Amino acid sequence: MPAPASADPAERYRTALACLDAGDEAGARRAVEEGLARSWQPCAAGTRECLDDLASQLDGEAALHRFAGRTPGPRGWLARPDDLARDVLALRRAHLVEAVIEEVALVLPPPVLLRLVGALGRAGTSAARDLLAACSAVLPGRAAHAARQHWGGCRPASPAVSALVHPRLAGAWRGPGGDQQQVIVAVARDGGRVAPLVALVDTAGAAPLLRDAFFLPDMVPGRLEREVMGPLAHAGMAVSPMATGAALDLALRALAGARTAGRAIPSEAHQAVIARMLRLQAALAPSRGHDAPGSAADVG
């Protein structure tokens, strides 16, 4: 017989994370449900928020898999753009909407991508306008410009899309000094969540070089503390707050140095890290100059 589950919701939370690391999504979901069932006491409110957010993440990723399995592909998107818009917006989380738009841009040749943007503009529905707003923030070059024109700049109805269109920095931290430094920049998302950018920067040379970087899924600040800050501190690399603008500038300078040196960013194999960092730089450029140090308590 399997060992009985712990009555401690925090233990079930840790089990869920371990299951996710091992690729056991069913085990993770089971641990989350068990943890939620045991987190009714007020003293477990923080753990319950993290478990609830993790459950929402699992639901979103399952919805993304269903979307990928049933989407009709380019011909269907062009014929029924409003269906595409509603299906994408139904994913609800900003990082999932962003990922779908990135994948669509990879699948479609540029002329077809422009045709799809035009079809969304002609659809004229609220969902189509919101998807155009998201596309204006995520797509490259001419496609982003066309999406912006068709969208028209009206306020998105979707909170997830608003977070993509109007990004802001919510906090930043760095690890102890040395030849390699961990830099974390939290980008504000909908529902009080943040999208953490985690960058590993080589600082031994005259200029910083980006060794690797990746964006974690959108999460509540408590999860950032438990899943990122805590493990770093346990490994002897406790982070301290730094000015958000300085942190992003360091990551971007390190990225520029790595690209100049021809150094690969390993996470690019499964995430459009470079494009996301450059989009963030461009979107925040007009509003920089009001940067403040971050703290784990004030994120979100």
- Judging by DSSP bridges, how do beta strands 240-241 and 180-188 pair with one another? unpaired
175: three-class secondary structure by DSSP: coil
Query: Mean pLDDT across the chain, nearest whole number?
Result: 89
Confidence of residue 5 (pLDDT cuts 50, 70, 90): low
Please write the tens of the pLDDT for every residue from 118-149.
Answer: 999 999 899 999 999 999 999 999 999 999 99
| Together in a domain, 151 and 176 | no
Q: How many helices (H) and strands (E) does the chain have?
A: 14, 5
| Together in a domain, 153 and 173 | no
Q: Write down the pLDDT at residue 148.
A: 95
Q: Write down the pLDDT at residue 198.
A: 95
| Together in a domain, 217 and 270 | yes
Q: Write down the pLDDT at residue 207.
A: 86
Calculate the alpha carbon distances from 157 to 152, 160, 193, 276 in Å.
14, 9, 18, 23
Q: Write down the pLDDT at residue 272.
A: 92
| Together in a domain, 282 and 171 | yes
Confidence of residue 6 (pLDDT cuts 50, 70, 90): low
200 falls within a domain: yes
201 falls within a domain: yes
Confidence of residue 205 (pLDDT cuts 50, 70, 90): confident
269 falls within a domain: yes
| Together in a domain, 263 and 185 | yes
* Mean pLDDT for the stretch of residues 291-295: 46
* Mean pLDDT for the stretch of residues 47-69: 93
Please write the tens of the pLDDT for every residue from 23-45.
Answer: 999 999 999 999 999 888 888 89
Q: Is the confidence at residue 291, as pLDDT, over 60?
A: no
74 falls within a domain: no
| Together in a domain, 97 and 112 | yes
| Together in a domain, 179 and 133 | no
Please write the tens of the pLDDT for every residue from 156-201.
Answer: 999 999 999 999 999 999 988 778 889 999 999 998 999 999 999 9
Q: Is the confidence at residue 275, as pLDDT, over 80?
A: yes
Short-list 209, 250, 109, 100, CA closest to 161: 100
212 falls within a domain: yes
The parent domain of residue 192 ranges over: 167-287
Please identify, among 149, 164, 179, the residue that sits at the C-terminal boundary of a domain: 164
User: How many structural domains compose the chain?
Assistant: 3
| Together in a domain, 265 and 221 | yes
Q: Write down the pLDDT at residue 292.
A: 44
| Together in a domain, 39 and 114 | no
Give the angle subtended at the CA of 217 by the CAs of 210 and 277, to the nearest 5°: 35
3 falls within a domain: no
CA–chain centroid gap for 52, Å, is 17
Q: Write down the pLDDT at residue 294.
A: 47
241 falls within a domain: yes
| Together in a domain, 156 and 200 | no
Please identify, among 134, 164, 194, the residue that sits at the C-terminal boundary of a domain: 164
* Mean pLDDT for the stretch of residues 191-214: 92
pTM, whole model, 2 decimals? 0.86
Integer Cα distance of 109 and 112 in angstroms: 5
Q: Is the confidence at residue 296, as pLDDT, over 70?
A: no
* Most confident of the following: 169-178, 250-259, 283-292: 250-259
Please write the tens of the pLDDT for every residue from 80-107.
Answer: 999 999 999 999 999 999 999 999 999 9
Confidence of residue 71 (pLDDT cuts 50, 70, 90): confident
Please identify, among 164, 194, 215, the residue that sits at the C-terminal boundary of a domain: 164
| Together in a domain, 272 and 183 | yes
Higher pLDDT, 2 or 27: 27
59 falls within a domain: yes
| Together in a domain, 220 and 129 | no
